[in-house]
Amino acid sequence: MDLKNKVAIITGARRGMGRTHALAFAGAGAKVVVSDISQEECEGVVKEIEKSGGEAIAVKCDVTSKEEVDKMVQAAVDKWGKLDILVNNAGIVDFKPFVEMTEKDWDKMMEVNLKGYFLCAQAAVKEMIKQKGGSIVNIASVEMGQVGGGMPGLAHYCASKGGVVAFTETLAVELAGQNIRVNAVSPGAIETPMSEAAQDNPDLLKQTLAKIPMNRMGKPEEVSNLVLFLASDAASYMTGSTVVVDGGWLAT
């Protein structure tokens, strides 16, 4: 899983799994654009990468803004002359009973979790076509990234993640002829700031663990290993796949 001479963009990389993806990619030799809504926090991750001998730049980008997304891709090209890998990771979650869900709640979820993936993928693909190849990894979720993952209070989130899988398969089919592979990763319950509610509430944690045969939440690094594999040439015959990393959740 060597990423030497590869240039990668990771969205939502100031913390959580985006951060560990950025560290893993840099550790495998990639030049990494660490991107998120806070320039300062992205710079913190860049410093961590540089400390361990890696190469990275921080680029502030709200994935819902086409202008900022285009600038992020341009920043990679300006710095290193190309773009090989995009990890669409930036996402939000928000628990709301379905009948109380507002149009604004719904639109915000779709704006970040789906439109953001579209904007980033389109800008990246335009570069990848120029250089005749690339790899995209979209982060979905067991919560409706697959059949069997529906969860109360997450109608909008689950719909967005189901959309990510459909988006992934369609891009994979459409772009295979251009040597661009597109895969998705569906994490289960992973210890990040996003899942703090489950980690900090003993009842909720018990309910969560009851679904997981391995009886623990996953570490962000355990997802990064899979994202790195799919992004790398080691996965050269994989496209259109959604791979689950969930401690056995969906197998039950």
Ligand X SMILES: NC(=O)c1ccc[n+]([C@@H]2O[C@H](COP(=O)([O-])OP(=O)(O)OC[C@H]3O[C@@H](n4cnc5c(N)ncnc54)[C@H](O)[C@@H]3O)[C@@H](O)[C@H]2O)c1
Give contact residues for ligand X (rule: CB under 6 A): 11-12, 14-18, 36-37, 62-64, 89-93, 112, 116, 139, 141, 187, 189-190, 192-195
Q: CB–CB of 19/13 below 8 Å?
A: yes
**Token pair of 52, please?**
């361990």
- Amino acid identity of residue 171, one-letter, is L
Instruction: Write a three-state SS string for 206-237.
Output: HHHHHCCCCCCCECHHHHHHHHHHHHCHHHCC
Q: Around 14, how many Cα atoms within 13 Å sit in the side-chain half-sphere?
A: 17
**Comparison of 166 and 176: residue with beta carbon closer to ligand X:** 166
**Comparison of 54 and 116: residue with beta carbon closer to ligand X:** 116
Catalytic-role residue among 25, 80, 157, 167: 157
Q: Look up 237 and say whether it is catalytic.
A: no
**Comparison of 116 and 162: residue with beta carbon closer to ligand X:** 116
Closest distance to ligand X from the beta carbon of 226 (Å): 12
Closest distance to ligand X from the beta carbon of 90 (Å): 3
Q: Which helix (H) or strand (E) holds 8?
A: strand 7-10
Closest distance to ligand X from the beta carbon of 137 (Å): 11
| Catalytic residue positions, numbered | 157
